[in-house]
Amino acid sequence: MEHIVIIGNGISGVTTARHVRKLSDKKITLVSAETDYFFSRTALMYIYMGHMKFEHTQPYENWFWEKNKINLKKGFVKTIDTKSKKLHFAKGDSLQYDKLVIATGSKPNKFGWPGQGLDGVMGMYHKQDLENLEKYAPNNKVCKRAVIVGGGLIGIELAEMLNSRNISVTFLVREDSFWNMVLPKGESQMINKHIKNHHIDLRLGTNLKEIISDENGKVKGIVIAETGEIIDCNVVGLTAGVSPNITFIKDSEIETGRGVKVNRFLETNIKDIYAIGDCAEQHEPIGQRRPIEAVWYTGRMMGETVAQTICGNRIEYKPGHWFNSAKFLDIEYQTYGWVFANPKENHQHFHWKHEDDTKCITVEYNIETRAFVGINTFGIRMRHETFNKWLNEKRNVDYVMNHLSEANFDPEFYSTFEKDILSAFNNQLKTV
């Protein structure tokens, strides 16, 4: 019987295993160095915040795997021998495969800062990071201040986590406004204010120079590059982005760039080896998408796609329209289609912000054709299906703006802003 081995039991690997099982009775082994069972990485923060226990983040009961004949193997894969089709584990054992799926996810970026290996310095990605945080920042007596380095989605989650235990946070952000490579100016500035309103010491345009050790090899402070200022702290969270977790593959025959290089069928350069999820890198980006997509739902879609291919129905990965969602402390963020930090050529932004600084929308559209390109919403929840439909139907911006209430999740709530948004939009038209 053909043996399908999957390295990584995150959303990508687990989706592959589940779908291969639905489609076939092939032998399946799911390998992970992190945990025995699949858990939801996006829920890690809620464990620390006391909303959930770790077991609650496991979407499947522990009996699910045996019942579905999915073998689980705990171990760290050290090398892949593509000639003999064998994985070699750190503990010395090995495993034969017929087809291999690499779904090893990401790891937090560390840019070689002095002191980055000290006790009390951690990323926020793996379950072990959470355990470290619990150890070094259980409360504000043990951890008087934490410094977070890197202003992205994970950085702000970590700030919220620490805030929930009343631990003081200094947040170093390299850019001069929060996440402004992705967010348009008005949104980014609104989030700056929101972060400060939560008593987080946000330092924009600020880089880490080094992390200072106490006499026991534990962090006791950091130095800011621009000013030389020393900030005393007990924990440093490194959240300056993530990159594919593929160091162990670099010496193999498998082609890598930043990630494991794949074609549209998620096939690597080696026959019978595929890569999916955060660790996969498209040779050519798909549309406006990035060649590496480190988000949950794309990992799931890639898992479903590759399972089809493995089971004999070779299909292309076609992710459809871009969407994403996140939370910035109390403010929910959603994006559908494309809204760029700065409008693309021939494009324009319509931006509306509520005076309370917790709600705003930005719409990107083509000035000449008036095609609707995308929307960002903050503090106003929209329906994914509706925007997907409008993007498929290639609706123009005027249609979208005049029907926005239909896309709203909470029409009553939205109706209180509708008039204001529409009149701001119509005013912008007059001034163009």
Binding site for ligand FAD (CB under 6 A): 7-13, 31-34, 41-42, 44-45, 76-77, 103-106, 124-126, 154, 157, 245, 248, 277-278, 294-297, 299, 326
CA–CA separation, 259 and 269 (whole Å):
13
Reduced DSSP (H G I as helix, E B as strand, rest coil) percent helix, strand, coil of the chain, to 5: 30, 30, 40
Minimal CB distance residue for ligand FAD: 105
Nearer to ligand FAD, 105 or 221 (CB): 105
The distance of closest approach from Cβ of residue 114 to ligand FAD in the complex, given in angstroms and rounded to an integer, is 25
Nearer to ligand FAD, 13 or 343 (CB): 13
CA–CA separation, 154 and 279 (whole Å):
17
Token digits of residue 240: 């300056």
The distance of closest approach from Cβ of residue 7 to ligand FAD in the complex, given in angstroms and rounded to an integer, is 5
Token digits of residue 171: 């947040």
- The amino acid occupying position 37 is Y
The distance of closest approach from Cβ of residue 34 to ligand FAD in the complex, given in angstroms and rounded to an integer, is 3
DSSP H/E element including 145: strand 145-149
Nearer to ligand FAD, 90 or 367 (CB): 90
Angle between helices 185-197 and 153-164 (to 10 degrees): 20
Tell the residue number behind the tokens 């090995």, with chain if given. Answer: 94
CB 323 within 8 A of CB 332: no
Provide the total of helices (H) and of strands (E) in the chain, helices listed first.
Answer: 11, 25
Tell the residue number behind the tokens 């996440």, with chain if given. Answer: 179
The distance of closest approach from Cβ of residue 408 to ligand FAD in the complex, given in angstroms and rounded to an integer, is 21
Token digits of residue 258: 């930043």
The distance of closest approach from Cβ of residue 348 to ligand FAD in the complex, given in angstroms and rounded to an integer, is 28
The distance of closest approach from Cβ of residue 41 to ligand FAD in the complex, given in angstroms and rounded to an integer, is 4
Nearer to ligand FAD, 184 or 237 (CB): 237
Q: How many residues does the chain have?
A: 432
Return the bridge partners of 177, or none. Answer: none
Nearer to ligand FAD, 32 or 213 (CB): 32
Q: Which of 65, 66, 69 is nearest to 27 (CA)?
A: 69
Nearer to ligand FAD, 77 or 260 (CB): 77
The distance of closest approach from Cβ of residue 269 to ligand FAD in the complex, given in angstroms and rounded to an integer, is 19
Nearer to ligand FAD, 230 or 286 (CB): 286
